[in-house]
Every structure is written in structure tokens, then in C-alpha cells.
Amino acid sequence: MLNNEITELLQIQYPIIQAPMAGGVTTSKLVTEVSNTGGLGMIGAGYMTPEQILEQIREIKELTSNTFGINLFVPNEFVGTENEIEQANQFLKPIREQLHLQDKDDLEIPEFNIVVETFHEQIEAVMENHVPVCSFTFGIPSRKIIDDLKQCGIIVIGTATTVREAIEIEKSGMDIVVVQGSEAGGHRGNFIEDNQESLIGLMSLIPQVVDKVSIPVVAAGGIMDGRGFMASICLGAKGVQMGTAFLTCVESGANEIHKEEILHTYEDQTVLTRSFSGKWARGVKNKFISEMQQSEAYLPNFPIQNSLTKGIRKASSLQKNRDFMSLWSGQSPRLARNQTVKSLITNIIEEANITN
Amino acid sequence: MLNNEITELLQIQYPIIQAPMAGGVTTSKLVTEVSNTGGLGMIGAGYMTPEQILEQIREIKELTSNTFGINLFVPNEFVGTENEIEQANQFLKPIREQLHLQDKDDLEIPEFNIVVETFHEQIEAVMENHVPVCSFTFGIPSRKIIDDLKQCGIIVIGTATTVREAIEIEKSGMDIVVVQGSEAGGHRGNFIEDNQESLIGLMSLIPQVVDKVSIPVVAAGGIMDGRGFMASICLGAKGVQMGTAFLTCVESGANEIHKEEILHTYEDQTVLTRSFSGKWARGVKNKFISEMQQSEAYLPNFPIQNSLTKGIRKASSLQKNRDFMSLWSGQSPRLARNQTVKSLITNIIEEANITN
């Protein structure tokens, strides 16, 4: 159970992956502590420039010789009309006022061709630096990219939220599929089905995927301790990927307010919102989510809305104000602990061995 | 694992409860076959008259001497204005036309005091006939009812969708709590939190409830085979309650069209709707759900909307037309089989023993 296809493929000791949370959580300290403890540390590089990626890879290689990985966002085509952006800025105006921000902060509206270009540069950085593992969210990259990565000896992981998506990931030639249950915090990884259709709980999702694909399946969503680990294995997963559980760890780079919010919230207080980024994501309900709920349906797509709220999230965080931060969390916040990575991982392994 | 507090309390062989599905699914054949195989068969009596309850208890007692149970709906206060009902009938008009039904079929609009009266008569019937187990959905009955049932030696079970609801159930003096994950088919059992807040996946829900209550926890939602059974046990549940898995069994009284639909659908095809009954419930998406989606928010509460759609559901079923039937299903339809109850239960037990 602790030694299987996943540990062999990834050359790690335990089939425990630290979810590649974007936005500053996956510091080199967090990533390397996970890898040094026997799990797989992952850089959440979706929003990072190629230079930032190079810099962090260099840092990590100084701190561990174990396997680590990186996650990139597959660009989805998007258009944002000026009208749509203007309207979204109107919706955000009262929030900017509460934070004493300029009417519009210096907005850089992303363009699709630039996003694609950056993505290719990110891939280059990953290949040139022989990052051992590369995972993707929000879709499947081109066959060429997957082949190139594999040719470099890089293990390629996809993210699915439904059986159909998992089958497409297997067909694309990727090595492993992470299945993200409806319990998961942060952004939904759905790319074929829409948001509602793709909200499948892990109790249903894992066995149905396992029956239809032959590549190893890793479970993600609400898993926090040895119980969730063992349950995932029983359902047919070969390993787990945990986000919230690592986010509140001592070594994580998450904002202290964010950590405290998770440590003091309940399972019925996380909601799905697209107001922060234009993509559906799960987080602790706060003033931003409530105030934006009415306009949610009219906001521009990812990553445009994400750019529009960047200044708000930053200011809220600097002002130590929980009200307008994106407090991503899965559905198991009651199980979150402010502990070391080592304690989190070794407790899971001990529980798994006892049950075993 | 197979012998625990639950099997001892309920005097059954295996900790497997057949969910008390209402609306004709839980025929005496199904209930007694489950009980005779070592699980707990349950009558879904929410919509039954006291006379129908008496009749079925008599039938069941002739077919098994093992433990069986019954489920009742706790009445929730409701009001339906004439305007609201008129508007709902307008929404339903095009659907009635497609089924060649009268503009309004002979509608009996339920009244709250009558519903409460019937509920008390149902309780009477349960007590007089010493039904060994009585479970409740949609809330917590009065302390008096719980005490009276327990005084009669009846084991009392509550249904919760969140930690808060489970704590209230324990406080009320009930013996066991069924936790219903977001994966579950049919009606949502939430009674404190609203629909969105109470949609917690079992991977998150089970361990968080187990940490907060000391009465035994039974898991429900998307559990179909030995994998789901074992996963639930790993997460801390003492047993499972399965609906969809029993619904497609040979012995179930579900409409054949309903069975076939589940057997040929996918995990991403079930949705939550309140258009059938006024309460949120999960079923296979069909024409009724799609056509009513726009008006969903304006429909009257349970059980008024349920009465308004009764004729539609009946006609659709008689005309063998899937389009307007309530095709309740959990999120694991790919794991459903048309098998005997005996095969379903013994397969789970074999898988559990192997893993054990």
C-alpha cells in the first residue's frame, strides 16, 4: 500500500503529493520539506514567470536531492470585451473603496496569445532544468508538449474531475491522473464538463475512474489525515494529493490570516465562487464572496477577472483584512492543524501502517 | 469491522442498511430480502398513510423474523399562497400538455396541520407494531416522540448532512446518526444549514462528524460496493446506508425505466433539483429538470410542489416516458448493477473480508 506504482514511478517513499497551490503557498521551504520527508513537493507555478520558475528550481535543488515537481495551468482560450471589463470594475468599485484603493488599480489585462507564449516558456524552463515531475490543471497540453516532457524523462500528471476527463488524460499519454473531488479547495480543474456536472464527491469519483483507466489514480479533495489516505486507497487510488492539509503547515508560505481562517472554520463555511478569478474555486466564505454573489454570473473569464481582483487581494492581505482575500480551503477545515510537514506525513504513515 | 456497535445495537449480521427510499421502491420483497441476508431492510414510509404502514408491517413480519426498520419524514412548517400555487401550475402547464394531462389534475394541496396529524398517526403505527428501528429525515422529532419510541425498545436513527446537524441529533437522544454526503441520490436531508452549505462530500463529512459525536455514524452517499464500504469504515463510520445500489436490485420495486436509466447513465449526469417536490434532491437529468430549471427558485415548498407534480410523475411513468419522471440517483451510477440483494450484500462482505 505504501509501495506501489506511484512511489516507483515518482521515486518517492510515500504516495503523498503536496498539492501545487499557486499564489505564494508553495515556498521552497514547503516543497523541499515535503520531498525530504518522503512525499512529493510541488511548485504551484501557474502564475509564475519563467524567471521566477528558474529561480525557485535553483533554490529547491540546493535544499533537496529528492524528487519534486511543478504544476502549470493549461491556457484556455478567453476573450474579455471592454464592456465586460468596465462592468466588472463597476461591481468591484465598492470593494475597492472599502480598501481605500484607486478606482481601478494599474490593471494589466491579460491577452490570450501572451498567456500561451508564457506557457511555452514555462514548459521550456521545466525541461531545461529537468524538473522530475510536471503536472497540469485546467486541461490537456498538446501531444507535442507531453511527448517532449516524457522524452526528457519527466513524469507527466493530469488533473480530472470526471471519468470522461480522466479517460482523455490517459489517452493523451500522461503517466498519472489526479482526480479532484468536489471536496477540494481552490480552483476546480474541470475542462470538459461544466462546473455543476463536475462536482463529484470522491466516494463516487475514485472507484468510477479506477474502473475506466489503467494509469494510476491519485485522489485529491478533503483528505487530511490517515483516515482519508486509507479511504482513498480502499476506493482504488494509488496515492493522495493534499492541499489544505499542507497549507496550514508551519512551512507553508500561505498568509497567516489565511491559515488562521482555515484553522477556525467549519465544513459548512466553504463555498464555490468565481468572483475572485473568473474560474470556480472553493474557499471560506467572506465579505468579498457575499458582496460579489449577485454579479458572479456576469464577470469575465479567467484569467481576466483574476487580474481585476489582484490589487484587491493584495491590499486586503497587506491590511490584514480577511474580508477581501481569497481564503481557499477544502471541505475538511475542522481537520486542519498548524503542524510541521514532518508531523503531518509521519502521522499519516503511522495510521496507515497500523490499519495495514 | 463487520461486528461492531451498529450490528449489536440493531441485532443484524452486517452493518449495511438499505436506504428507506420513498415512493414504492421499498416493497416488502426488497425490505425482507435485505433483512434475511443479514442487512437492515427499511420501509420508506414518508408518503404512506398509517393504514399502508400497518399493511406493510404485517406483510414484512410474515416474510422475516429479522430486524427491519421504517423511515418517516419530520414535518417542516410550510405555507403555500394561492398565487404561488397558481404560478407553479402555469410553469407546469407545458409539461402537462406534453403528457396530454388536464390543465390541473385533481390537486390535493397539503395543509401543515394535517401533515403533522398524519405524522403522529404514523408514529403510533410504528410503536403499536413494535417496528424494531425507526429513522427520521428532514429534521428531529420532539423529545417526547424520541423518548416514547425508545421506551418501546425501538432504535431511533437521525439523518444529518453537516457536523452541526449530527451534533443536534446526538443531543436529541437518538441512537445512531446517518450522515448523508453530497454524493447521495434522492432528497437532501439538511434541516439546519441550507442546500449549498450542506453539500459536503463523504471524504470530508465522515471524519469531521466522527470527531464530534459519540453515537455511531453510518455513511450514506455514492457507496455501491466493497470499496465504498471499506472506505467508509476507514473514515470512521460503523456502517453504510445504500440507496441507488439497492434501487437497481432485482427485488426493488422501482419502475423498470428508472432502473434502466441508472444502469445506463454516468456520474456527470445527475443534478440537484427542487422542481419535483420543492425540496432539493439528486436525480438523473431529464427533460422535466431542464424545462423547470428557470422557474425552480419560484416554486412552492415541500410538500406542496410534490403534490403539484404527482399527476405528472404518475402519467410519465404509466406512459413509460423517462422525460418527466423523478429518476433519483446518487453520483455512482456507473457502479450500479441489476443483481439480487443477496449478491450485492455478499459481494461487499467478501471484499471487506479480503481487505480485512
Q: What is the ipTM of this complex?
A: 0.97
pLDDT band at residue A80 using 50, 70 and 90 as cut-offs: confident
> Taking CA atoms, what residue in A is nearest to B285?
A197
CA-nearest of A157, A328, A350, A160 to A246 is A328
pLDDT in tens, A163-204: 999 999 999 999 999 999 999 999 999 999 898 899 999 999
- Average pLDDT on A155-160 reads 98
Sign of CA dihedral A173, A176, A180, A181: positive
The better pLDDT of the pair B221, B103 is held by B221
Q: Which residue of B has its CA nearest to A271?
A: B197
- Residues B169-180 have a mean pLDDT of 98
Chain A hits for B201, Cβ within 8 Å: 181-183, 201-203, 221-222, 331
Q: Which of A250-264, A268-282, B101-115 has the lowest mean pLDDT?
A: B101-115
In angstroms, the separation between the Cα of residue A346 and the nearest Cα of chain B is 18
Encoded amino acid at B113, one letter = N
Chain A nearest C-alpha distance from B113 (Å)? 32
A5 Cα to chain B: minimum distance (Å):
19
Question: A with B: how many residue pairs have Cβ under 8 Å apart?
Answer: 151
Residue of A nearest to B227 (CA): A235
- Grid cell, residue A221, equals 479533495
Confidence band, pLDDT 50/70/90 cuts, at residue A106: low
- Interface probe with B: pick from A188, A203, A209, A290, most Cβ of B within 10 Å: A203
Helix (H, G, I), strand (E, B) or coil at A18: strand
Number of domains in chain B: 1
Section B75-98 average pLDDT: 93
CA separation for the pair A251, A341 (Å, rounded):
7
Interface check for B297 against chain A (CB to CB < 8 A): the answer is no
- Report yes or no: B227 and B234 within 8 Å, Cβ to Cβ: no
Chain A hits for B230, CB-CB cut-off 8 Å, are: 231, 234
Q: What average pLDDT score do residues A81-89 get?
A: 93
Beta strands B68-73 and A270-273: pairing type? Answer: unpaired
**Predicted local distance difference test score (pLDDT) of residue A114:** 95
pLDDT band at A353 (very low <50, low <70, confident <90, very high): confident
Among B203, B221, B92, which residue's Cα sits nearest to residue A183? B203
The per-residue pLDDT for A104 is 67
Q: Residue B331: its chain A contacts at CB < 8 A?
A: 200-201, 203-205
Interface check B222 vs A, CB under 8 A = yes
Quote the CA–CA distance of A67 and A155 in Å, as a whole number.
11
User: Cβ neighbours of residue B198 under 8 Å, at least 6 residues apart?
Assistant: A268, B161, B162, B165, B188, B190
Q: Quick: pLDDT tens for A298-315.
A: 999 999 999 999 999 999
Q: Which residues from chain B sit within 8 angstroms of residue A205, using beta carbons?
A: 267, 331
Cβ neighbours, 10 Å, residue A100: 8
Q: Which of B207, B219, B334 sits opposite A228 (nearest CB)?
A: B207
Helix residue ranges per DSSP H, chain B:
5-10, 28-37, 50-63, 82-98, 112-128, 143-151, 163-171, 202-210, 226-234, 244-247, 256-263, 287-292, 304-308, 310-318, 341-355
pLDDT at A44: 98
Looking at residue A130, its amino acid is: H
**How much is the average pLDDT of B40-58?**
97
Q: Please check whether residue A78 is in contact with residue A112, taking contact to mean a CB–CB distance below 8 angstroms.
A: yes
Spell out the residues 6+ positions from residue B17 whose beta carbon is closer than 8 angstroms to its own: B39, B40, B42, B69, B178, B218, B239, B240, B241, B242
Mean pLDDT lowest for which of A76-80, A139-143, A227-231, B37-41? A76-80
Residue B230 pLDDT exceeds 60: yes
Q: Is the dihedral angle over the CA atoms A311, A313, A318, A323 positive or is it negative? A: positive
* Closest residue, chain A, to B354 (C-alpha): A234
Q: What is the pLDDT of residue B355?
A: 63
Residue B155 grid cell: 432504535
pLDDT band per the 50, 70, 90 thresholds, residue B79: confident
Q: What is the pLDDT of residue A12?
A: 97
Report the residue of B161, B268, B269, B335 to disrupt the A interface, i.e. the one with the largest count of A CBs within 10 Å.
B268
Q: Does B164 touch chain A (CB under 8 A)?
A: yes
pLDDT confidence of residue B35 = 98
Q: Can you tell me the distance from the alpha carbon of B174 to that of A39, in angstroms, rounded to the nearest whole number? A: 42
Reported confidence tier of residue A356, pLDDT bands at 50, 70, 90: low
Interval B240-279: pLDDT, tens: 999 999 999 999 999 999 999 999 999 999 999 999 999 9
Residues 308-337 of A with CB under 8 A from B: 330-332, 334-335
3-state secondary structure A75-110: CCCCCCCHHHHHHHHHHHHHHHHHCCCCCCCCCCCC
Chain A closest CA to B249's CA: distance in Å? Answer: 19
Average pLDDT over residues B13-37: 97
Residues 267-286 of B with CB under 8 A from A: 267-269, 271
Lookup: cell for B1 = 469491522
**CA angle, B30 then B139 then B243, to 5°:** 25
3-state secondary structure of B16: strand
Range of the domain at B63: 5-355
With an 8 Å Cβ cutoff, is B189 touching chain A?
no
Give CA separation, B194 vs A201, A237, B208, B320, in Å. 18, 32, 19, 34
How far is A62 from B71, CA to CA, in rounded Å?
A: 62
Residue-wise pLDDT for B102-152, tens only, equals 766 557 889 999 999 999 999 999 999 999 999 999 999 999 999 999 999
C-alpha distances out from residue B81 to A265, B86, B110, B299, B306, Å? 38, 9, 12, 11, 15
Whole-number Cα distances in Å, A312 to A14, A309, A323, B124, B333: 39, 5, 10, 60, 43
Scanning A9-68 for CB atoms below 8 A from B yields none
Residue A57 clears pLDDT 60, i.e. is over it: yes
The cell for A114 is 501572451
A12: domain CATH number?
A: 3.20.20.70
Sign for the pseudo-dihedral over CA of B36, B37, B42, B48: negative
Residue A196's φ and ψ, nearest 5 degrees, are: -65, -45
Instruction: Check if A201 contacts B (Cβ < 8 Å).
Output: yes
